[in-house]
């Protein structure tokens, strides 16, 4: 069974631009969560989607948004990029609420660099 | 709310020595506890998990962890370190509310010296 895939793996953007990251969960998994990883703040939860609905959201500004499609694939978007948005963005998938939602499987991440 | 504290941002051991990575958690309800490992330029891989039942949990690559409720701890151990164990290790906590994300510790970088 294929694991979680994330595209692209690396991105370089300029301040003020926007970016879209993509995540394909493990087949059969319907929940997708996004995390931001930085050396200073560690792993921080961004949001979680299940059945195309955002179920939970972390403490990030509105520039960070996401969505989930009917096939469970998810995208996250960051608008008006800032230098501080440089990070590794990790996507994790799980079966869904009440079905081992806490057992998450992570993708390799997208390394975003903002210059 | 849940929280995790990992004692020691960097641990160094000799090859063949015992590995002990410390994790303490805070949770107002029974927790689910996890250890993840991250190799350079990769995502997180689940090493082991505690949900309910046996408090000594065995995971992949020879790692194990023991849930001690009285000490609110979930330390990760491995009897004999291997060079390939060098990586970043993260402890995480969640609860079975169906709507609570994983909360991670800051991570512990393990170095293995030949």
Residues of A in contact with B94 (CB under 8 A): 102
> In the structure, what pLDDT confidence band is assigned to residue B70 with cuts at 50, 70 and 90?
very high
Burial B70-101 (b: 16+ CB within 10 A, else e): eeebbbbebeebeeebbbbbbbbbbbbeeebb
Determine, for residues A106 and B105 on separate chains, whether the beta-carbon distance falls below 8 Å.
no
A105 and chain B in contact, CB less than 8 A? yes
How high is the pLDDT of residue A81? 98
Residues of B in contact with A106 (CB under 8 A): 36, 43-45
Distance from CA of A77 to the nearest CA of B (A): 20
Residues of A in contact with B41 (CB under 8 A): 108, 111
Determine, for residues B98 and A101 on separate chains, whether the beta-carbon distance falls below 8 Å.
yes
Bigger pLDDT: A94 vs B64: B64
Distance from CA of B75 to the nearest CA of A (A): 19
Determine, for residues B99 and A105 on separate chains, whether the beta-carbon distance falls below 8 Å.
no
How high is the pLDDT of residue A40? 87
Helix or strand or coil: residue A84? helix
Distance from CA of B42 to the nearest CA of A (A): 5
> In the structure, what pLDDT confidence band is assigned to residue B74 with cuts at 50, 70 and 90?
very high
A56 and chain B in contact, CB less than 8 A? yes
Distance from CA of B80 to the nearest CA of A (A): 27
Between the CA of residue B59 and those of B49, B64, B73, B106, what are the distances in Å? 8, 6, 17, 21
Residue of B32, B44, B52, B106 to mutate, interface with A, max A Cβ within 10 Å = B44
How high is the pLDDT of residue A21? 98
Whether A99 has a pLDDT exceeding 70, the answer reads: no
> In the structure, what pLDDT confidence band is assigned to residue B97 with cuts at 50, 70 and 90?
low
| Encoded tokens for B17 | 């020595």
How high is the pLDDT of residue B98? 53
> In the structure, what pLDDT confidence band is assigned to residue A65 with cuts at 50, 70 and 90?
very high
First-to-last alpha carbon distance for chain B, in angstroms, is: 41
Task: Tell me the backbone φ, ψ of residue B62, rounded to 5 degrees.
Answer: 80, 5
DSSP 8-state secondary structure symbol assigned to residue B18: P
> Which of B34, B42, B99 is opposite residue A108, by nearest beta carbon?
B42
Determine, for residues B104 and A104 on separate chains, whether the beta-carbon distance falls below 8 Å.
no
pLDDT in tens, B50-67: 988 888 999 999 999 999
**CA–CA separation, A16 and A18 (whole Å):** 7
Reference B92, options B30, B59, B46, B42; nearest CA is B46
> In the structure, what pLDDT confidence band is assigned to residue B96 with cuts at 50, 70 and 90?
low
Whether A101 has a pLDDT exceeding 70, the answer reads: no
How high is the pLDDT of residue B53? 83
């Amino acid at each position: 069974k294929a694991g979680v895939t994330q595209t692209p793996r690396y991105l370089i953007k300029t301040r003020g631009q926007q970016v879209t990251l993509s995540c394909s969960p493990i087949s059969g998994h319907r929940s997708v969560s996004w995390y931001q990883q930085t050396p200073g703040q560690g792993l921080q939860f961004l949001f979680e989607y299940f059945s195309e609905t955002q179920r939970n959201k972390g403490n990030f500004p509105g520039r960070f948004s996401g969505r989930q499609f009917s096939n469970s694939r998810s995208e996250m978007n960051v608008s008006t990029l800032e230098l501080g948005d440089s990070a590794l963005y990790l996507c994790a998938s799980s079966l869904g609420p009440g079905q081992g939602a806490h057992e998450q499987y992570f993708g390799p991440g997208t390394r975003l660099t903002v210059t | 709310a849940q929280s995790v504290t990992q004692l020691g941002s960097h641990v160094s051991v000799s090859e063949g020595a015992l590995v002990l990575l410390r994790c303490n958690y805070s949770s107002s309800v029974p927790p689910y506890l996890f250890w993840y490992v991250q190799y350079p330029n990769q995502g997180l891989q689940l090493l082991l998990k505690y949900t309910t039942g046996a408090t000594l949990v065995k995971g992949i690559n020879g790692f194990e962890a023991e849930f001690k409720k009285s000490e609110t701890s979930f330390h990760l151990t491995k009897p004999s370190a291997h060079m390939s164990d060098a990586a970043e290790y993260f402890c995480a906590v969640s609860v079975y509310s169906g709507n609570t994300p994983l909360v991670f510790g800051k991570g512990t970088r393990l170095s293995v010296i030949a």
